[in-house]
Structure 1
Amino acid sequence: MQESFLIFITKISLYPTVIFTGLVMFVTLYWLVSLIGMVDMDTVEFGDSGSDTNVSDLSSTGFFTGLMLKFGLYGVPLIIILSLVSLIGWLLSYVYTSFLHQRIDSGILYYLFGTGALVFVLVVSMWLTGIIISPIRKSIAKIPKRNAANNIGKTAIVRTLSVTDKHGEAELNDGGAGLILKIRRDSDSVELPLKQGDKVLLVEYLNDSGAYRVALAKDK
């Protein structure tokens, strides 16, 4: 058992699998931190989220943005995209390391073939991730935007450790499972710092960031 574990550790530490191992460790840590409310998840959007994205015309976009659009990696939280790419890439590169890469012991060929496998695995991982998140993206797009306006004036509970003009989440009791909303506060606010458990009033919906501007709710 111990020998098998050591072999497993050795394989996931080999190039190129080690790169995806590092990514999996990163996203796992991110999810753990998110569960205790220290970070919030931002959805990847390009252009007007209310319109169809033209993935055939990438002349005005950067290389990275164009790549994301080509593979359909948008419309859902970035951490979900990164988690799927990392996990799929880790599994594929682990198979490569186990059955093919270990047969190449030459230094130059080792890294040459490894780099080629890394690029191939990354492309396949992004392609599969785009397929997986496609129905999720479509479901999110069907959520009526009027819900945002309907929430104005309601009270929510802060779930992150703090709230700033760039970060924060709150839970709104909608009579069902509850809604997790991104919230922001004015940077020049004179109110006491908002913290986890505070009640906040949803004052305004910020279209640019997809978040609500909030203020501390006054107890009546």
Structure 2
Amino acid sequence: MFAILLSEKMDPFYQNIASFPTFIFTFFLLLTVLYWLVAVLGFVSIDVLDFDIPDVDGDLNAGSYKDLSTPDVLAGLMLKFGLHGVPVTIIISLVSLVGWLISYYATHFLIAWIEPGIFRYVLGLPILLGALWGAVMTTALLIKPLRPLFLNARQQSKTYIIGQTAVIRSSYADASFGEALLADGGAGLLLNVRADEGVRFKTGDRVVIISHDEASNLYRIVSEQEFSGM
């Protein structure tokens, strides 16, 4: 197998994946492959990059973003293009793979014969944009039937989380800030947690999760001692 990969017949393939614009998708594709290898070993969770999708009614436009942070704008764009309902890592992986395939074959059949230079970059730019657009649209279609599966998984996960013990990971946790790590047999679940007013936990404190707020996606916590006395 390695002899085939190192043979001269593979040179056009390597030239295509390392040339503009395909090398951009090649880079992200290699990152996603590395991520999934690490995830299989249990060092990271599948939702390590997840963030909340803002609640935006109707079509998004420039005015919708003026009061939003950069992550909120990114999440809003993902919502607009149908890239939601599954872990962000899966979305990035599919966009990278589909974009790489489109870019590779477009480069191979349209501009592979052109010598490297400014003219090739000029022709490669529309291929890059077209591949990105095609990858986003294709990914939106591919993840559509997956959303109910992940919705059910999230609901079951939230049911499991309530009543479990977690460890404060942030420098502190109070009524306005806090993160806690819940051991799940793998990389662990990092949760946004909030304590009652006037209560403050520090890094390493063990707490019990007693409820979940759907609107804010925050988990309410109490100390193990308080939970035992409930």
Global fold match (TM > 0.5): yes
Q: Which moved more, 1:121-130 or 1:105-114?
A: 105-114
Count of aligned pairs between the two proteins: 200
Query: Is it true that 1:30 corresponds to 2:30 in the alignment?
Result: no
Of 138, 141, 146, which aligns to 1:131? 141
What residue in structure 1 maps to residue 228 of structure 2? none
What residue in structure 2 maps to residue 69 of structure 1? 79
- Equivalent residue letter for 1:13: A
Of 187, 191, 194, which aligns to 1:183? 191
- Equivalent residue letter for 1:61: S
Structure 2 CA distance for aligned equivalents of residues 86 and 125 of structure 1: 7
Structure 2 CA distance for aligned equivalents of residues 75 and 147 of structure 1: 15
* Pair 1:102–1:150, CA change in 2 (3 A): closer
Of 11, 16, 23, which aligns to 2:16? 11
* Pair 1:167–1:41, CA change in 2 (3 A): farther
**How far does the alpha carbon of each residue in 1:115-155 deviate from its partner, in whole angstroms, 9 at most, with x for none?**
11000010010000011111222444466859736742135
- Name the SS of the counterpart of 1:61 in structure 2: helix
Mind listing any 5+ residue stretches in structure 1 that lack a counterpart? 173-177, 195-199
- Equivalent residue letter for 1:11: N
Structure 2 CA distance for aligned equivalents of residues 150 and 28 of structure 1: 30
Contact 1:163 / 1:185 at 8 angstroms: preserved in 2? no
- Name the SS of the counterpart of 1:100 in structure 2: helix
* Pair 1:32–1:216, CA change in 2 (3 A): farther
Contact 2:169 / 2:204 at 8 angstroms: preserved in 1? no
* Pair 1:68–1:202, CA change in 2 (3 A): same
Query: Is it true that 1:98 corresponds to 2:108 in the alignment?
Result: yes
Contact 1:201 / 1:216 at 8 angstroms: preserved in 2? yes
- Name the SS of the counterpart of 1:202 in structure 2: strand
Structure 1 CA distance for aligned equivalents of residues 181 and 154 of structure 2: 23
Structure 1 CA distance for aligned equivalents of residues 154 and 33 of structure 2: 32
Based on CA coordinates, which of the two structures has the bigger radius of gyration? 2
- Equivalent residue letter for 1:56: D
Shift of 1:183: 3.0
What residue in structure 2 maps to residue 197 of structure 1? none
Shift of 1:110: 0.6
Of 130, 153, 162, which aligns to 1:120? 130
Structure 2 CA distance for aligned equivalents of residues 98 and 216 of structure 1: 61
* Pair 1:32–1:184, CA change in 2 (3 A): farther
**How far does the alpha carbon of each residue in 1:137-183 deviate from its partner, in whole angstroms, 9 at most, with x for none?**
24444668597367421358x9xxx94445745328xxxxx9x7543
Q: Under a length normalisation based on structure 1, what TM-score does the superposition of the two structures give? A: 0.69
- Name the SS of the counterpart of 2:135 in structure 1: helix
* Pair 1:214–1:42, CA change in 2 (3 A): farther
Identity level (%): 32
Structure showing the higher helix proportion among its residues: 2
- Equivalent residue letter for 1:92: I
* Pair 1:154–1:107, CA change in 2 (3 A): closer
- Equivalent residue letter for 1:6: D
* Pair 1:94–1:193, CA change in 2 (3 A): farther
RMSD: 3.9
Contact 1:75 / 1:140 at 8 angstroms: preserved in 2? yes
* Pair 1:145–1:108, CA change in 2 (3 A): same
